[in-house]
A = this chain, B = another copy of it.
């Protein structure tokens, strides 16, 4: 029967989410490296075989957490787009969302970082990797659209013939790198003389200025825009972080 299979399928997906949530929780409480398939099995109500029915390996599980992470990130992106401002400010809002996501869900960000590691890439299942790429595509598409709109609006006029995709990749790489290095630095108890937010803002300003994305940073107060994004779009989340930080 059709309905039966559908129900079954639904239960399967629900359980997968449950397992992913549990795995994340385990990492949160026990530390990132302490996540173990055995522990996950012990913590859930299912047997090892069932868990392995969902995730072909530990790395596959990591990858799954990673894609789920990008799904919630995508939602943050959609919200960021609602920011009332010019294209460059919208892009800034996306960067804000990216950073916010990393702060809200450090564990998830760890997974994303690990998922760029060959040790994980080598062992994750092909299906999972494909899903991950699709999500990355979806996330990139959001930024692409902003760049394309900026061209239409005349905010981005440099005609060197670079595609939106290239610009998106550049800002993505910059955000990824900045966040990764920051996290590593804080994890290693390094001195952190410069505030993460300010650095992030500076870096995006430099890159977008280099794209000649007007209004340029000396023509507009993007620190204020950054603050506005925090207040007008993500007030709740920012408050949550503040509370957790203390």
Contact = CB atoms under 8 A, between A and B. Distances in A.
A207 B203 CA distance: 8
Contacts of A33: 59, 118-119, 122-123
A242 B160 CA distance: 29
A116 B190 contact: no
A183 interface: yes
How many copies the complex holds: the figure is 2
A176 to B, nearest CB: 4
A85 interface: no
Q: Summarize A's interface: helix, strand, loop or mixed.
A: helix
Interface stretch (A148-156, A166-174, A229-237): A166-174
B173 A178 contact: yes
A110 to B, nearest CB: 5
B203 A170 contact: yes
Interface size class of A (residues with CB under 8 A): 35 or more
Interface stretch (A16-24, A46-54, A70-78, A208-216): A208-216
Contact of A113 (B117, B160, B188): B117
Contact of A119 (B32, B176, B211): B32
Interface string A186-215: 011010001000010011011111111000
A175 interface: yes
A180 interface: yes
Given A33-B123, A207-B207, A110 B114 contact: no
A240 B45 CA distance: 55
Interface core residue of A59, A184, A212 (most chain B CB under 10 Å): A184
The 9 tightest CB contacts between A and B, nearest first, are: A177-B177, A210-B210, A173-B177, A206-B210, A209-B210, A116-B184, A176-B177, A173-B178, A33-B119
14 contacts: A33-B122, A115-B184, A116-B181, A116-B183, A117-B117, A118-B187, A160-B218, A165-B194, A169-B181, A169-B194, A169-B199, A174-B177, A174-B203, A209-B209
